[in-house]
Amino acid sequence: MLGKRQPLEQLAQQQWDLLVIGGGITGAGILLEAARRGLKVLLLEQTDYAWGTSSRSSKMVHGGLRYIAQGDVRLTRHSLLERERLLKELPGLVERATYLFPLRKGVFPGRWPMKAILWLYDFLAGIRDHRYLNRAEVEKRAPGLNTDGLTGAMSYTDALTDDCRLVMRTLLEAARHGGLAQNYTRVTGTQRVAERFEVSVTDRVNGGTTTLQARHVINATGAWADRLSGSESRVRPLRGSHLFIDPARLPVSDCLTVMHPDDGRPVFVFPWEGVTCVGTTDLDHPEDMDIEASASERELQYLLKLINTQFPDVTVSRDDVYATIAGVRPVIASGKGVDPSKERRDHAVWESDGIVTVSGGKLTTFRLIALDALLATGLIDARAHRSGQKTREPMYQPLDNAPQAVQHFLHASQDDQGFIEWLLDNESVVHLDDLMLRRTRLGLIKPNAGLVVLDRYRALIQQGLGWDDDRWEQEVQRYLGLHERFYGVPGLPDMERMAG
């Protein structure tokens, strides 16, 4: 288990084979793959695990139909094989879901082009899940969907997950192999000395500083990668935002891919953790990366227009939105100034003065990205890299002494005392927002920032984290301030919603 954070002095007393900077899914994957090979490896995250992009994605473990359209069949195949691996190894956490792609008269792509794409998609995955639905079947499966020009839909399957729980499950597995991870520990500088690196770090909980020694360093900080890479900037930060909507106002049972009336971009409307999620947007994000990303009024209106165009009888407003979430994608810039949605989502690995940087890529292929990063350091050779790509050896084993909810992660947002108690004991919770926004999603999928849940579990949380009443009040105010500023509804302050 991850357990409690360790003093910096204790970390400084050890000689590390590899230091991984960044606690998102890429860093977690590298930690696991390195630890499985017996390396002495440490991961450091400057804020909380999955605080950045890896808790703010579209929650989809998928092959990516767009890659077939772009002619990148190889990337699609790798993604689909990894999807099937995760479905097999992490039932409950990664679950197959039905997707519907509505077809409309005179709108590209039509039935037969989509059928050809989906035939190839299933063939690459080694399954056969796609089929055509006529208009009557679509109306039954997606009641309230705009029927103007509707001729039917193509049905296929991909997978959904809780992206943050996938990160935590990967970190827990790495810990089982001897890997060590620590959150709220910022790397402030790296210096190469002979055959080793001296890495300056600061503990953001108690303010202590020290220098760590490591043979190799991998910068896996995603959208923050340019800060530590030591090379010219390569990352184009793109923001994607989602709305979490009252399911009573917008009930859906399948994942719908619908086109926005303004720009023709595909947007997903799908059921997730008991609410309806709508997203995503795709905009350049020039803001300060040290400040949490948040959905803008422009993005809110964009997604509300999509909903009310595709479901004209519902009339969803900002009052029906429980919360918002915005993530910054670490897209490798093409340098061509193209539209954000047309940038490729491939990952890149590069080296500068011994530091290996990895950024970009897809949630689904994090294991393959990790292998590429380890190859670049020389910690594995080309033969081991090829073997790792092709292996069928399971990545994940059952967790010892974990309750049923943790073993299968059926719903990371569940309101369950045993589950929350286990999280407090085993997953390095430092602040209340760690628990409410990442370890669970109760602050996103419950009305009023989940205050009812906090009231119910106050004593349990205080006891588990050793907080007195003053610390509790400080943490509640911190959490509510963060929720209102970065996860609330633009133009509708949380306090106003709660008072209403």
CA-nearest of 75, 44, 47, 49 to 62 is: 75
pLDDT confidence of residue 399? 81
pLDDT confidence of residue 492? 66
Q: Hey, how many other C-beta atoms are within 10 angstroms of the C-beta on 463?
A: 11
More confident residue, 112 or 333: 112
Q: What is the pLDDT of residues 259-309, one digit of tens each?
A: 999 999 999 999 999 999 999 999 999 999 989 999 999 999 999 999 999
Pairing type for strands 283-284 and 235-245 reads: antiparallel
Average pLDDT over residues 416-442: 93
Residue 370 has pLDDT above 60, yes or no: yes
pLDDT confidence of residue 87? 95
Eight-class DSSP state of 293: P
Residues 6+ apart with CB under 8 A from 92: 408, 409, 410
pLDDT confidence of residue 437? 97
CA-nearest of 126, 124, 152 to 68 is: 124
pLDDT confidence of residue 500? 41
Pairing type for strands 150-161 and 60-61 reads: antiparallel
Residue 63 CA to residue 408 CA, distance in Å, equals 23
Q: What is the pLDDT of residues 240-265, one digit of tens each?
A: 999 999 999 999 999 999 999 999 99
Residue 222 CA to residue 238 CA, distance in Å, equals 11
Contact between residue 407 and residue 397 where contact means Cβ atoms under 8 Å apart: no
Tokens describing residue 479: 């959490």
Q: Hey, how many other C-beta atoms are within 10 angstroms of the C-beta on 366?
A: 28
pLDDT confidence of residue 470? 98
Q: What is the pLDDT of residues 48-96, one digit of tens each?
A: 999 999 999 999 999 888 778 777 888 899 999 999 999 999 998 999 9
pLDDT confidence of residue 497? 45
- 3 state DSSP class of 472: helix
Banded pLDDT at 495 (limits 50, 70, 90)? very low
Eight-class DSSP state of 447: G
The model's pTM: 0.95
More confident residue, 257 or 411: 257
Residue type for 120, please? L
Q: What is the pLDDT of residues 305-362, one digit of tens each?
A: 999 999 999 999 999 999 999 999 999 887 766 677 767 778 899 999 999 999 999 9
Kindly report which listed range (5-14, 60-69, 185-194) carries the lowest average pLDDT score: 60-69
Domains and CATH numbers, the chain: 8-54+164-234+342-390 (3.50.50.60), 97-159+236-340 (3.30.9.10), 407-499 (1.10.8)
What is the enclosing helix (H) or strand (E) of 482?
helix 469-482
What is the enclosing helix (H) or strand (E) of 387?
helix 382-390
Residue type for 242, please? H
Q: Hey, how many other C-beta atoms are within 10 angstroms of the C-beta on 9?
A: 9
Tokens describing residue 23: 């606690």
Residues 6+ apart with CB under 8 A from 334: 343, 344
